[in-house]
Amino acid sequence: MASLNCALEISGLRKSYGGRSVISGIGFSVPAGACFGILGPNGAGKTTTLRCCLGLTPPDEGKILLGGHSIPDGACAARARVGVVPQFDNLDPDFTVNENLLVYSRYFGLKKAEMRQRIPGLLDFAGLTDKENARVEALSGGMKRRLTLARALVNDPDILFLDEPTTGLDPQARHLIWDRLKQLVAQGKTLILTTHFMEEAERLCERLIVLDHGQIVAEGNPHELIASQIEPNVIEIFGENAVAWAKARRALCQRLEIAGETAYFYCKDTAPVREALDKERALHSLHRAANLEDVFIKLTGRELRD
């Protein structure tokens, strides 16, 4: 039985490619009206999970309820109430901004007259009012992303899937997208997003999962995860012989991590490390609160994933 206050419910989801498991029996649920994050390193299974949810990739096993519809059988009905912002903009370069919205609305069987009424509002939301007759190729990267977001809203969806919505954008363009996504949540829409930007997840998501190797390695509210999974303070130390210096003072903190030439002291109390640092002139340090990126690195490691 579908829970009315759940936008998405997944249980026992499995998917293999060529005998290799890429989703290993995961389950989670997304409350309606929440912004929910799916985080994970490259290859963790984020896009495959999204594709299964949308009925684009058939799972090997598992149950998916999207907006109360069982996927993949009910994917068509579910997608009528869903918007998608794909990882790479796939706008039609031959059409203007306006035409891109019109053409896309036809997939939902929306009437041209109805769309003509709705388009000004969508363009205003996307900050593209003065670009309605511009060709897509004349738009900046940020404008294209905003147009893709506006396009995902043509059917006034209840649930929006966003696959890395701000990848490749500069900070100004990213902040503008964040602002718009917050507006959508304030309107009561459910957002399900994948991201590599921990700051993005920390700012936007009420709940998130961290996927690694097709498994959920953490789930919760970002601030609760920071409080429960990691020491509250970090002192980063770099400079001449910083790593050797840090290794010799391992006992001054709860946890020490080394990445390249930088040592990370994870501490409850920073005083012992700060006192030791006072005597050193050749070392540089940065004191900060632990953040979601620290949690992510602790859970998924520092090795590169390609």
Least separation in angstroms between residue 19's CB and ligand ADP is 11
Give the residue, chosen from 36, 37, 40, 190, that forms a contact with ligand ADP under the rule CB under 6 A. Answer: 40
User: Please, which residue, 17 or 107, has the CB nearer to ligand ADP?
Assistant: 17
**Counting contacts by CB under 6 A, is residue 42 touching ligand ADP?**
yes
Contact present, 265 and 273 (Cβ < 8 Å): yes
Q: Quick one: tokens of 237?
A: 């130390």
300 binds ligand ADP (CB under 6 A): no
User: Closest distance between ligand ADP and the C-beta of residue 41, in Å?
Assistant: 7
Least CB distance from residue 219 to ligand ADP, whole Å?
16
Q: x/- string (CB under 6 A) for ligand ADP, residues 4-23? A: -------------x----x-
Strands 159-163 and 82-85: parallel
Q: Is 44 in the site for ligand ADP (CB under 6 A)?
A: yes
Torsion sign, CA atoms 198, 199, 204, 206: positive
Please name the amino acid found at residue 232: P
Three-state SS at 245? helix
Q: Is 45 in the site for ligand ADP (CB under 6 A)?
A: yes
Q: Minimum distance from CB of 44 to ligand ADP (Å)?
A: 4
Shortest CB 39 distance to ligand ADP, Å: 9
* Sequence-separated (6 or more) residues with CB below 8 Å from residue 197: 166, 167, 174
If one asks whether residue 37 binds ligand ADP (CB under 6 A), the answer comes out as: no
Provide the Cα torsion 81, 42, 141, 181; round to 10°. 40
The SS3 of residue 266 is strand
Contacts with ligand ADP: how many residues (CB under 6 A)? 10
For residue 173, CA distances in Å to 79, 90, 194 come to 28, 18, 18
Q: Which residues of the chain form contacts with ligand ADP (CB under 6 A)? A: 17, 22, 40, 42-48
